[in-house]
Structure 1
């Protein structure tokens, strides 16, 4: 969220940031500044998504042991691993397990990984299948 506003006092800027804005730009603004801020925010978001996916799928250690997002993603992934064999397991059941709505789950997973819940579940299953196929002498039929 980038706030583009005529309110330029430091109090307004602090309130804007407290309300969740990632950047606060006062009018009149320089279009190049806006473009650079958007590019940098998108770059940071991409790096965070890659970081979380590496932690979950590649087993990398999290440098921030109390990272709420990483903990959330790990909890979601653990539930998927646990219920993977259940043919009726779905994004709705995952949301119920996490005690959040399906829309909140989709928003959170999309923000962290770039995938909605149903696609993330599939990704986790595919990554596990890939790991099993490369580690053990199993056929695709056995892994499926």
Structure 2
């Protein structure tokens, strides 16, 4: 039986977990101060160096990292480089905090892939704005992908590593669309990635669970086939893993705001113009 995409009620939105910020600094006073400020809007995890931060990233879903540069064991530059170069974390935005004000220091941070650079001493409000802006942009990209029938999964990529990962993920799902039981375990096996790692990566990069992403991929493939105009709706429904055309129609309308028939007619009308 197909896994159903569900709508989100107002009550569920209010109960949704807050986005997670990982704050990394070897100064406990700064950790406490910034953590207290950010905790009003976000769930905050803390680490005192890059080694601790990477350990947390391997077990937690983190939406953004704020890191000091000067730290023992592993500094912020190396941490940023590790985050941006490892597939499991490469989608996570990184804000670097530093007392250094030289242009060379800023260049080094940006070369490591930092998404923003904030100089100490900094205004808490300024840091809040930087974080909110980065997360809002990511949310817009995720929403655009989810609501646009013909937009490819790779549109959510934040790096070449992400683009490669999402391309492989999309291809893997499409090759197994006729399997109604396709789930995260099947994907992990096909992609040779551990189930927890794949779950965290998909959830963080798309804000969807793997099963939700699989269902969305089914509907997007259906939209592609409807756009081509070569097959009947019931044929497309079966091709993308639905045993019930009515179930397919309800899910399609719920996701894209129109029935498969209305979508097909709108695409045919566009082609005639």
TM-score between the two structures when normalised by the length of structure 2: 0.42
Runs of 4+ in 1 over 6 A off after TM superposition: 50-53
Q: Corresponding residue for 2:95? A: 23
The 5 A counterparts of 1:52-71 are: 57-58=150-151, 67-71=160-164
Q: How does 1:80-119 map to 2 (within 5 A)?
A: 80-119=173-212
Determine if contact 2:199/2:209 at 8 Å carries over to the other structure. yes
Aligned equivalents of 1:33, 1:6: Cα separation in 2:
20
Structure with greater proportional helix content: 1
Which consecutive unaligned segments of at least 5 residues does structure 1 have?
A: none
The farther-off stretch of 130-139 and 76-85 is: 130-139
> Does the residue aligned with 1:107 lie in a helix, a strand or coil?
helix
Q: Which runs of 5+ in 2 are unaligned?
A: 1-21, 31-67, 84-93, 99-119, 238-273
Q: Is the 8 A contact 1:49 1:111 kept in 2?
A: no
If the length of structure 1 is used for normalisation, what is the TM-score?
0.72
**Cα shift at 1:67:** 0.9
Question: Structure 1 residue aligned with 2:70, among 5, 8, 11?
Answer: 11
Aligned length in residues: 141
Q: Is the 8 Å Cα contact of residues 132 and 138 (structure 1) preserved in structure 2?
A: yes
